[in-house]
Amino acid sequence: MALIYVDDLIVGMVLAEDLFTPKGRFVLAAGASLQQDHLKILKTWGVVEADIDESSLGEGYSQSQELNAEFIEKAHDCLGHRFMLNDLEQEPVATLYRHTVHRFALELQQGFDPGPLSTVTPLEISENGPPPLSIPHLLKGEVDIVSLPTVYTHIVELLDHPDSSSQQVAKAISKDASLTVRLLRLVNSPFYGFSGKIDSVSRAVSLLGTNELSTLTLGILVIRKFQNIPSDLLNMDSFWRHSIRCGLFAKVLSSHLGEKGAEKYFTGGLLHDIGRLVMLDRMPVQYSGAVAKARLDCLPMYRAEQDCLKTDHSIVGKLLAEKWRLSPALIRMIGSHHSPRLARYSTEACIGHIADVFAHACGHEAMLVNEIPELQIAAWEEVGLKVELIAPTIRQVEAEFRDVVRVFFGDDDSVENDV
């Protein structure tokens, strides 16, 4: 008997055991010889692996295709719980589940240890600390949340000015050495896949365009600004890894739809949860109560925020994006990533939503709660993505992920040496 991943099953293999879906629904009996229709049904219903009679494996079978049952079971246990807010009988969800279980089982087999989710105790209100920020003040923007870095403000002023040239934009970027090396590292990484080396900002501007380059600049500067927010609740490293993964999923999914503006989608994904940082920074005591509730009631964070704080991080992020006068597309991605309906299922909002769910499913970063937010099928259907693209999308994102993390978090010197 051999446990075979569903994508490696072929017509003619014979089941050694009865086959069930992850939800326990009976699919096929032991002894059944797999036919083409069966293979499609197994994938549609989220079946990850099947016990196959070894005598039916055929000559094409290689030992490396065999999964270790112990790790598959562990992956099911862990991800079955993390997907609890999702409907595994929906085809896109079933496909995402199948691929994440397979990847996770392989990682476990290679020695990966996910570790426990850190515990969160609601913070005590300190008598000497600043008074908690009231929600109406935060929502009305009566407090200075955070200002945009001046270098970006200057770039936007240049872009708004009809007489300014792309050379002036390149010069404004080049004044910031750390920004420059990160930007060049990013455009030289597999993120773009340009064949020749791009060694100056003016060359990058001529290849990508000023608007596109300034959008990437925004992402780099915002990460730098928020990178070191002290928080007892959220690990910043995990936060930005999730955000980068979301940005990459948004970029790759949008390219499958033939959308232009890879930078817009990447930066929108990168900044989608920025409202969380504002809330953690400005109202840590109230926010810790929302985190505790999310864990206790197994809610996604935005629902617990709505219950406890009467708002959520997508709304706070939208306010911040509006205050920064970001483009309407970025505002839609940030403000509607949990409710694409609010942006009338615009492509940006739907992509932002789907990318967030994929980033949660594929990343091991503990983002305060373990549950993967519900994939809203209406958003999936609205943009018309095909389930066959899920596997190649995950592969492409994972291939680019390390390089892009290094762009943002490698130190300036190591980045400079790479350019």
Residues that bind Fe ion (CB under 5 A): 273, 356
Q: Reduce the DSSP state of residue 2 to 3 states and report it.
A: strand
- Beta-carbon contacts of 251 under 8 Å, excluding residues fewer than 6 positions away, are 191, 262, 265, 266, 269
Least distance to Fe ion, CB of residue 357, Å: 9
Residue 70's identity, in one-letter code, is: E
State the DSSP H helix or E strand holding residue 28, giving kind and residue range, or none if neither. Answer: strand 26-28
List residues bridging with 19 in a β-sheet: 28
CA-only gyration radius of the chain, Å: 23
Least distance to Fe ion, CB of residue 133, Å: 20
- Give the nearer residue to Fe ion in terms of CB position, either 260 or 310: 310
Least distance to Fe ion, CB of residue 172, Å: 31
- Give the nearer residue to Fe ion in terms of CB position, either 348 or 356: 356
- Give the nearer residue to Fe ion in terms of CB position, either 261 or 373: 373
Least distance to Fe ion, CB of residue 302, Å: 6
Question: Helices (DSSP H) in 20-176: which residue ranges?
Answer: 36-44, 69-82, 91-109, 135-140, 150-160, 166-174
- Give the nearer residue to Fe ion in terms of CB position, either 13 or 334: 334
- Give the nearer residue to Fe ion in terms of CB position, either 99 or 241: 241
Least distance to Fe ion, CB of residue 211, Å: 25
Least distance to Fe ion, CB of residue 333, Å: 11
State the DSSP H helix or E strand holding residue 50, giving kind and residue range, or none if neither. Answer: strand 49-52
Phi-psi region of 299 (alpha: psi -120 to 50; beta: other; left: phi over 0): beta
List residues bridging with 26 in a β-sheet: 20
- Give the nearer residue to Fe ion in terms of CB position, either 22 or 284: 284
